[in-house]
Structure 1
Amino acid sequence: MKELFQAAGVRMINNKGEKHGTITARLHEENFEITTLRIDVTTDGRHAEVEFTTDWQKDAERRDLTINSMFLDLKNKKVRFVGQAKQRIQEDYLRILRYFRFYGKIVDKPGDHDSETLEAIAENAKGLSGISGERIWVELKKILTGNHVNHLMHLIYDLDVAPYIGPECFLLNFSTLKMGKNAFVPTGLPANASLEEFNRVSKNVEGFSPKPMTLLTSLFKVQDDVTKLDLRLKISKEEKNLGLFIVKNRKDLIKATDSSEPLKPYQDFIIDSRESDATARVCELLKYQGEHCLLKEMQQWSIPPFPVSGHDIRKVGISSGKEIGVLLQQLREQWKKSGYQMEKDELLSYIKKT
């Protein structure tokens, strides 16, 4: 492969994959990973030692799903493991989640599974506890953004896979630590997940391209569920903050909504937060809540700049930093009440009146 690329003048980058038979070619400003034919020598459920081969059949036999080996099932929109499902899963337990991911990508309708496949998944779900959180999160995000997500998430719970998606090891108490024992408990997707809420939210977000965390958050009842997930899956700071935000505000903001100005509480939140990603988070919350009309309004809304600064207040004779801060907050509240319409002179005149 390397000789072919070199002869064709194709640049190769990142040689870390070469021991696995993978070359990363840089072509037309894009990276392409190309892997040669391989067979597995040994596997431990996570990693495999490989040998290169020229035998296409042997290469096909080591793959996880038939759509990745014989390809005929891709045309028929059928997702199956190559050979014995149990054996394929035990070679790499992440294949459980890959099965769900490809099912959501390929199959036309939910519920079209082989009983042998589901039995093998249920019997081997515990193997996911040895898979890195980062790898699990990559697959889970793709499941959450694919088709049949409601069906697949219920299946993940029905087959008892959920406790092992993101299990993290926690010491039970200090006494076990003193005794030199490693007493651990798994915490993955919550056992008492709000599947009814997931059903509702998965319908709300149809056609609105929610972020994976937006939909996943509907399974969580408290913010601590998000924190536990992060400990294992190592989700990004942005994803964690989004999850915490939705759990905290999914009910409070909608309760504060005025029927005459339903968007106002969301706008006020953005104004008060003064964070660059506040609008994006609010839009995800509106998707979660199924507020599609408000979502369109929010996407068209530009954050108005607050017209008064501390320098403006100093000009009217106030020099105390603490007093300036208090006045700025009072003026901001007046400005919000006006629907962000009051201008600088009008706001400053309010200071003189008080």
Structure 2
Amino acid sequence: MRINWIQLQKITSKMEPILLNIAENKDFQALFTPQLQKLRGFFESRGFEIRIAGGAVRDLLMNIKPADVDFASTATPTQMKEIFEAEQIRMLHKRGEEHGTITCRIDDCENFEVTTLRVDVVCDGRRAKVEFTEDWQLDANRRDLTINSLFLSLDGTVVDYFGGIGDIKSRRVCFVGDARQRIQEDYLRILRYFRFFGRISNTSEHEDDTILAIIENKDGIKGISGERIWTELKKIVIGRMASEVIYTMIKECKLNVLLGLPEECNIERFKMVFKRFEGSLDPMTMIACLCEEVEDISNFHKVTKLSNDERNTGEFILEHRREAQENLENIDFWQDKIVDLEQRPGHDPSLEKLRRRVVQLAKSVGANREILEIIEKFESPKFPIDGKVLMSSGNLKKGPHVRNVLMYLFDLWRQSKFSMSQEELLEHTNDGNIPILSKKSTSPKRV
């Protein structure tokens, strides 16, 4: 989508902003470190305005302490660099300068990210070409949601051009201006809308025109990078109101296939697990709840580019969910699963990560509190054999057969409920029925 600069100036009619003073807000006052006071002085002494922008303002109005604070200024990137060089302030070389963002570090203890006011003059639904401006309203107009289009002067005055203050009070989530135009500027805003709806709204009902605009433009998601999709989606599936939001995204807007999810998603299972364990779930656990087959995780990975740990977690849950459901209250089953993960030769040595994987599997099938406590507290017995022990025993020659024997002995040890000693296991190193493993497998395949 192309936006002409002159046309943008015409369609954005000048309006008086709504002003609200929050100088007495304790979280706002807490932001005023000596370093922020210095930053303010650098800009104001040279005739430039600097304000807090976006999400931090929204959070302050919701009585939430901001986790991140971004700043906007009328100074251009070149002017900002001149200011910081003159004041001998170190600048951090981060990506974003082409879009007007400069990051500085004051007194070697606090970083500040400052972005020049801008407008997106050319948009293709993924990225934008920007031009700088000194007009605060034009910058507010390019932002996605009204609740994110607010500025906060450092004297404590919130500046609101598009009704964001009122929308925060009423917990209304809507796009700035025309929803279709905002979405077509960056199709990721479809997912951002749902993320903020779940976070802020006090109702599960969406405005009809917003949903229609999303449905009309949903194919634009195909052009978004998988990493950006997953960054938003992983927050949605474990966030507030996740069940209601996912229902709308899948049942009403039909976004599932575009996001790499199956054509038929198990929303009821998603709801059950989320309702029971909200606040302690991994994003991949919730993705697995929507899926039925291990291949569904592979397809999801093709779109979202999961990390190895995320993909392994999703596949682990789907591989073992059926037997976990059948053994829901079988303590031996869960303990065996833990030992298999944590002690099987060649597996990931990160025990905390592996134990969490079993906990998430248990939650995905609705395990009760007693089972979860056992899983979390169970101390896995240590497998008494490794490659060095095998080689030092004198019973084997060096070679690929050592791995086959090691896996065979591990399975014998599991079958004995972890009771066989090192000496007892070594007696079986030359059994005649030792299976041969494929190169990548850690499970025996008999030939």
Q: TM-score, normalised by structure 2?
A: 0.65
Q: Residue 173 of structure 2 corresponds to which residue in structure 1?
A: 79
| Residue 297 of structure 1, aligned match among 349, 367, 374 | 374
What is the deviation of 1:159? 3.2
| Residue 197 of structure 2, aligned match among 88, 100, 103 | 103
Judging changes above 3 Å, is the alpha-carbon distance between structure 1 residues 8 and 266 closer, same or farther for their aligned structure 2 residues?
Answer: farther
CA offsets 1:97-148 (integer angstroms, 9 cap, x no match): 11011112222x3414222212211221112122222211111112123111
* Mapping of residues 162-241 of structure 1, within 5 Å: 162-163=255-256, 165-166=258-259, 188-208=260-280, 210-241=281-312
What is the deviation of 1:326? 6.8
CA offsets 1:266-286 (integer angstroms, 9 cap, x no match): 224323363324323222212
Equivalent-residue separation in structure 2 for 1:288 and 1:30 (angstroms)? 41
Equivalent-residue separation in structure 1 for 2:184 and 2:388 (angstroms)? 67
Equivalent-residue separation in structure 2 for 1:233 and 1:317 (angstroms)? 49
Equivalent-residue separation in structure 1 for 2:217 and 2:246 (angstroms)? 17
Equivalent-residue separation in structure 2 for 1:351 and 1:237 (angstroms)? 34
Q: Residue 172 of structure 1 corresponds to which residue in structure 2?
A: none
Matched, 1:88 2:182: yes
| Residue 354 of structure 2, aligned match among 267, 278, 285 | 278
Query: Does structure 1 conserve the Cα–Cα contact (< 8 Å) formed by 2:324 and 2:365?
Result: no
More helix by share: 1
Identity of aligned residues (%): 40
Q: Residue 131 of structure 1 corresponds to which residue in structure 2?
A: 224
What is the deviation of 1:320? 5.4
- The one of the two structures with greater contact order (alpha-carbon pairs below 8 A, sep at least 6) is 2
Query: Does structure 2 conserve the Cα–Cα contact (< 8 Å) formed by 1:205 and 1:288?
Result: no
Query: Does structure 2 conserve the Cα–Cα contact (< 8 Å) formed by 1:129 and 1:164?
Result: no
Q: Residue 234 of structure 2 corresponds to which residue in structure 1?
A: 141
Note the residue ranges of structure 1 that are not aligned, 5 or more in a row. Answer: 167-187
Judging changes above 3 Å, is the alpha-carbon distance between structure 1 residues 16 and 268 closer, same or farther for their aligned structure 2 residues?
Answer: closer
* Mapping of residues 52-71 of structure 1, within 5 Å: 52-69=132-149, 70=160, 71=164
Equivalent-residue separation in structure 1 for 2:250 and 2:331 (angstroms)? 41
Counterpart of 1:83, as a letter, is G
Q: Residue 47 of structure 1 corresponds to which residue in structure 2?
A: 127
For the aligned residue pairs, the C-alpha RMSD in angstroms reads 3.1
Query: Does structure 1 conserve the Cα–Cα contact (< 8 Å) formed by 2:219 and 2:258?
Result: no
Counterpart of 2:218, as a letter, is A
Q: Residue 176 of structure 1 corresponds to which residue in structure 2?
A: none
Instruction: Indicate the SS of the match to 2:114.
Output: strand
Structure 1 stretch displaced more, 27-36 or 122-131: 27-36
Matched, 1:2 2:68: no
Q: TM-score, normalised by structure 1?
A: 0.80
Query: Does structure 2 conserve the Cα–Cα contact (< 8 Å) formed by 1:46 and 1:93?
Result: yes
Equivalent-residue separation in structure 2 for 1:111 and 1:192 (angstroms)? 22
What is the deviation of 1:24? 2.6
CA offsets 1:145-170 (integer angstroms, 9 cap, x no match): 3111111111001333414633xxxx
Instruction: Indicate the SS of the match to 2:181.
Output: helix
